[in-house]
């Protein structure tokens, strides 16, 4: 679905991503894991056009999208759940969902119902301001909002950040459920254990480069990964 | 304790509106208010419109713009030049003769007002392209700068604007009905706009630009739209202002005017339409009401002598007190609701009725 070739992204003179290449296979769950500052979030931002790549190619279903406008990229079916949730604090839950479907002109009812069935809490609180939700509920809202654009590819930046372990496992089971509805998922995580257990394909990023790749299971069993990220 | 039902709120709103309409009619006929009080009401309406224009771009779209004085100047001059009769114009321009095209321009007041708004939007379009790429304080400085540039152009385009001497004899068409109804129309327009997808989009940009962009919202397009509409409304308020005060000079539209409007917006609450209206009324009325301070008065057994400027000192203290107790302005980002009046009253009544039970509840 996404094919990244030799992608480089700079912040001024700092090279955040140094020529990485990877594939996100159609219909699966892929994950980028790595420590702080490895360039994972930057990679996601470059894919959805929030940052312009310095060089390299990003192909979405064979079509080059590198360096295009975010509006153009989102309308092709890529949606981002940003790091730190970034929900609209002064809009209600329902308004947040409607903003997620900003580029669509058709009826939203089915999609709102689907999001409510994934996250019943959001339906209970649909009139509440986004900023008054708990952290876990805000994450649910951020995921629901991203789904409202009917994405083919859903990219999630650290969905487990700052959440209680019980809620983290909820979020991951919902990620699997969304994936089972045919949405391809690219997940960026520091919680390497959960991410690799969930993912079909995993990539390990270190200081702007991809150092290891393989199926989620094989990376879980890899000694270097275990030592560096799983603490065993 | 129960809140008011939706219907009860609606009835209260309808009664209040009807009462206001009757009051307006009586004021218009000169029964309810004298000319001095009517002028304060007219100015309140105009300040409310100006504050709404600033609230749209600052409070709802989150773009800190301070260019309102310039847009008001454009509106005021455009409207004035269209409504002052040609002969009257000619006699005003004694520094340099008036441009013959400008001399013969004429339009009815409503058309002139809208032309003033459009003129402000037209300039906002060209200013918006470079400045709306800036954020926060930088945007504020850039818009303030452009507002000053507009004022300096007006000062120096003598054959068109009559330069620093300004314009006089502007027909005072904008009576209390004009100002109040324009204000009401703009309140309704903005209340409705905020319920549409455009309103949601503006607020989303205010809350988080990165997330809004990730949703596929074109930030620049929406910021520009909000900026143009805001300039249009500011232009209208400028046109009305010119008609109420009767004489304008470029000095009237210094940046202090923008600060005064910003004060209303902050006082009423950024992101609250009704807040801006209430803020404008409080500001205009209290500034006039406090006038007695300047001319000497009796404080209990003590005679306070005449101190020029004491009024502004007390006024500033009052503002500080309000901002201390209401950090986000009187209304925050909410709109006025009858419940905000009803709840404290109901709470007090409850306390008086069964004080013992309340205390028992607390200890349990």
Question: What pLDDT does residue A224 have?
Answer: 85
Taking each helix axis from N to C end, the angle separating B273-289 and B35-55, rounded to the nearest 10 degrees, works out to: 140
φ, ψ for residue B232, nearest 5 deg: -60, -50
pTM over 0.80: yes
Cα angle A217-A223-A228, degrees, rounded to a multiple of 5: 100
Question: What pLDDT does residue B132 have?
Answer: 93
Contact criterion met (CB below 8 Å) for B27 and B41: yes
Question: What pLDDT does residue B287 have?
Answer: 85
Nearest residue to A129 (alpha-carbon basis) of B3, B271, B136, B53 = B271
Contact criterion met (CB below 8 Å) for A94 and A100: no
Q: Do A99 and B215 touch (CB under 8 A)?
A: yes
CB count within 10 Å of CB B19 equals 10
Q: Do A102 and B206 touch (CB under 8 A)?
A: no
Closest residue of A to B211, CA-based? A86
Contact criterion met (CB below 8 Å) for B172 and B239: no
Chain B interface residues facing chain A, Cβ-Cβ under 8 Å? 197, 200-201, 203-204, 206-208, 210-218, 271, 333
Tokens of B300: 């209990």
Give how far the C-alpha of residue B329 lies from the chain's centroid of Cα atoms, to the nearest Å.
15
What is the DSSP secondary structure assignment for residue A230, as one 8-state letter?
A: I
What is the DSSP secondary structure assignment for residue A228, as one 8-state letter?
A: I
Gyration radius from chain A CA atoms: 17
CB-CB neighbors (< 8 A) of B217 in chain A: 71, 99, 102
φ, ψ for residue A214, nearest 5 deg: 160, -175
Q: How far apart are CA B38 and CA B69, in angstroms?
A: 24
Alpha-carbon gap: B331 to the closest alpha carbon of chain A (Å): 14
Q: Do B216 and A90 touch (CB under 8 A)?
A: no
Going along chain A from its start, the domains and CATH numbers come out as: 2-230 (3.40.50.300)
Q: Do A102 and B333 touch (CB under 8 A)?
A: no
Tokens of B325: 């107790």
Question: What pLDDT does residue B364 have?
Answer: 39
Put simply, whether A103 touches B (Cβ < 8 Å) is: yes
Give the full edge-to-edge strand order of the sheet including A209-215.
A78-81, A153-157, A184-189, A29-34, A201-206, A209-215
H-helix or E-strand spanning residue A158: none
Q: What is the ipTM of this complex?
A: 0.88
**What would the pLDDT profile of B104-114 be if each residue is shown by its tens digit?**
899 999 999 99
Residues of chain B below pLDDT 50:
358-360, 362-364
Residue reference for tokens 């991503």: A17
Contact criterion met (CB below 8 Å) for B203 and B60: yes
Question: What pLDDT does residue B289 have?
Answer: 86
* Domain residue extents for chain B: 33-259
CA atoms within 13 A on the CB side of B26: 10
CB count within 10 Å of CB A217 equals 13
Nearest residue to A73 (alpha-carbon basis) of B86, B216, B249 = B216
CB-CB neighbors (< 8 A) of A99 in chain B: 200-201, 204, 212, 215, 217
Residues of chain A below pLDDT 70:
232
CB-CB neighbors (< 8 A) of B207 in chain A: 88-91, 130
Residues 6+ apart with CB under 8 A from B205: B61, B62, B212, B217, B219, B222, B223
Question: What pLDDT does residue B356 have?
Answer: 58
CB-CB neighbors (< 8 A) of A82 in chain B: 210-211, 214
**DSSP output for B50-81:** HHHHHHIIIIIT------HHHHHHHHHHHHHH
**DSSP output for B216-261:** T--HHHHHHHHHHHHHHHHHHHHHHHHHHHS-B-GGGGSHHHHHHH
Cα–Cα separations (whole angstroms), residue A85 to A80, A96, B20, B60, B211: 10, 12, 45, 21, 9
CB-CB neighbors (< 8 A) of A79 in chain B: 214
Question: What pLDDT does residue A107 have?
Answer: 86
H-helix or E-strand spanning residue B20: helix B6-28
DSSP SS3 for A31 = strand
Cα–Cα separations (whole angstroms), residue A115 to A120, A145, B328: 8, 8, 33
């Amino acid at each position: 679905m996404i094919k990244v070739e030799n992608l480089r992204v700079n912040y001024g003179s700092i090279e955040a991503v140094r020529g990485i290449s990877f594939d996100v296979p159609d219909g699966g769950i892929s994950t980028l894991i790595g420590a702080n500052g490895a360039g994972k979030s930057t990679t996601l931002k470059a894919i959805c056009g929030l940052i312009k790549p310095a060089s390299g190619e990003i192909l979405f279903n064979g079509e080059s999208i590198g360096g295009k406008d975010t509006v153009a990229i989102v309308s092709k079916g890529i949606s981002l759940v940003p790091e730190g949730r970034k929900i609209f604090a002064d809009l209600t839950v329902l308004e947040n969902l409607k903003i997620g479907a900003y580029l669509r002109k058709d009826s939203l009812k089915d999609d709102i119902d689907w999001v409510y069935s994934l996250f019943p809490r959001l339906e209970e609180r649909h009139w509440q301001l986004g900023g008054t939700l708990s952290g876990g509920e805000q994450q649910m809202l951020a995921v629901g909002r991203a789904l409202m654009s009917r994405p083919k590819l859903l990219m999630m930046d650290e969905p487990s950040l700052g959440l209680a372990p019980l809620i983290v496992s909820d979020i991951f089971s919902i990620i699997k459920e969304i994936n089972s509805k045919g949405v391809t998922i690219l997940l960026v995580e520091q919680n390497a254990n959960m991410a690799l257990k969930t993912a079909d394909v995993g990539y390990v990023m270190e200081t702007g480069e991809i150092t290891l790749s393989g199926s989620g299971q094989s990376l879980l069993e890899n000694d270097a990964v275990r030592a560096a990220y799983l603490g065993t | 304790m129960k809140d008011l039902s939706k219907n009860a709120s609606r009835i209260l709103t309808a009664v209040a509106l009807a009462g206001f309409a009757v009051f307006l009619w009586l004021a218009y006929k000169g029964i309810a208010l004298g000319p001095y009080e009517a002028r304060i009401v007219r100015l309140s309406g105009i300040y409310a419109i100006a504050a709404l224009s600033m609230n749209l771009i600052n409070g709802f779209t989150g773009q800190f713009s301070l260019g309102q004085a310039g847009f008001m100047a454009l509106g005021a001059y455009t409207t004035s030049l269209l409504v002052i009769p040609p002969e009257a114009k000619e006699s005003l321009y004694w520094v340099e003769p008036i441009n013959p095209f400008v001399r013969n321009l004429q339009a009815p007041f409503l058309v002139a007002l809208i032309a003033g708004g459009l003129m402000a939007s037209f300039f906002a379009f060209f200013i918006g392209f470079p400045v709306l790429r800036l954020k926060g304080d930088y945007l504020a400085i850039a818009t303030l700068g452009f507002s000053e540039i507009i004022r300096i152009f007006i000062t120096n385009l003598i054959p068109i604007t009559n330069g620093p001497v300004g314009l006089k004899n502007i027909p005072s068409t904008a009576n209390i009905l004009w100002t109040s109804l324009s204000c009401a129309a703009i309140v309704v327009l903005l209340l409705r706009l905020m319920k549409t997808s455009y309103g949601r989009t503006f607020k989303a940009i205010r809350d988080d630009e990165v997330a809004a962009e990730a949703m596929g919202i074109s930030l620049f397009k929406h910021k520009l739209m909000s900026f143009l509409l805001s300039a249009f409304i500011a232009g209208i308020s400028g046109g009305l202002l010119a008609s109420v005060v009767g004489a304008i000079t470029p000095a009237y539209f210094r940046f202090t005017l923008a600060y005064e409007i910003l004060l209303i917006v902050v006082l009423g609450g950024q992101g609250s339409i009704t807040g801006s209206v209430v803020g404008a009324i409080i500001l205009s009325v209290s500034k006039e009401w406090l006038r007695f301070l300047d001319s000497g008065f009796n404080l209990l057994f003590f005679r306070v002598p005449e101190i020029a400027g004491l009024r502004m000192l007390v006024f500033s203290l009052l503002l500080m007190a309000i901002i201390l107790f209401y950090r986000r302005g009187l209304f925050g980002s909410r709109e006025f609701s009858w419940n905000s009046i009803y709840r404290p009253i109901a709470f007090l009544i409850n306390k008086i009725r069964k004080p013992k039970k309340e205390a028992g509840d607390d200890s349990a």
